[in-house]
Amino acid sequence: MPVSCQRLPTGWFTHDRVDVPNPLAEAPERPERLDTIENHLIALGLDERVKRFECGSAPIGAVLLAHDGAYIERLRLASEGDAHALAAFCEPDTKVGPDTFDAAMKSAGAVTSAVDALMEGRIRNAFCAVRPPGHHAARAEARGFCYINNVAVGALWAVHHHGLRRVAIVDFDVHHCDGTEEIIAGNPAVRLLNVYQWPLYPNRQLTPTPENVVMSPLPAGADGADLEEVLETVWLPALEVWQPELIMVSAGFDAHCEEQLAQLKMKETDYARLTRRLLDAADVLCSGRLVSVLEGGYSVHSLARSAMTHVNMLVMRGQHPAGE
Ligand SMILES: [Zn+2]
What are the structural domains of the chain? 3-323 (3.40.800.20)
What does pLDDT average to in each consecutive run of 10 residues of the chain (324 residues)? 65 98 94 98 98 98 98 98 93 93 98 98 98 98 98 99 98 98 98 98 93 98 98 98 98 98 98 98 98 98 98 86 44
d(CA 297, ligand 1 centre) in Å: 6
Tell me the residue ranges of DSSP E strands in 68-158.
125-128
Query: Please, is 318 exposed, middle or buried when counting C-beta atoms within 10 Å of its C-beta (0-12, 13-18, 19+)?
Result: buried
Q: What are phi and psi of 246, to 5 degrees?
A: -160, 135
Query: Which of 85, 82, 71 lies closest to 147, judged by CA?
Result: 71
Task: Compute, in degrees rounded to 10, the torsion defined by CA atoms 31, 37, 43, 48.
Answer: -110
Quick one: angle between helices 150-160 and 100-119, nearest 10?
40
Rounded distance between C-alpha atoms, residue 145 and residue 19, angstroms: 14
Rounded distance between C-alpha atoms, residue 100 and residue 102, angstroms: 6
Residues designated as active site: 136
Query: SS3 for 250?
Result: strand
d(CA 202, ligand 1 centre) in Å: 9
d(CA 149, ligand 1 centre) in Å: 13
d(CA 171, ligand 1 centre) in Å: 10
d(CA 93, ligand 1 centre) in Å: 13
> What is the model's pLDDT at position 6?
55
Rounded distance between C-alpha atoms, residue 273 and residue 179, angstroms: 27
Is residue 168 within 8 A of residue 242, CB to CB? The reply is: yes
Quick one: angle between helices 268-286 and 300-317, nearest 10?
30
Rounded distance between C-alpha atoms, residue 286 and residue 301, angstroms: 33
Rounded distance between C-alpha atoms, residue 251 and residue 291, angstroms: 10
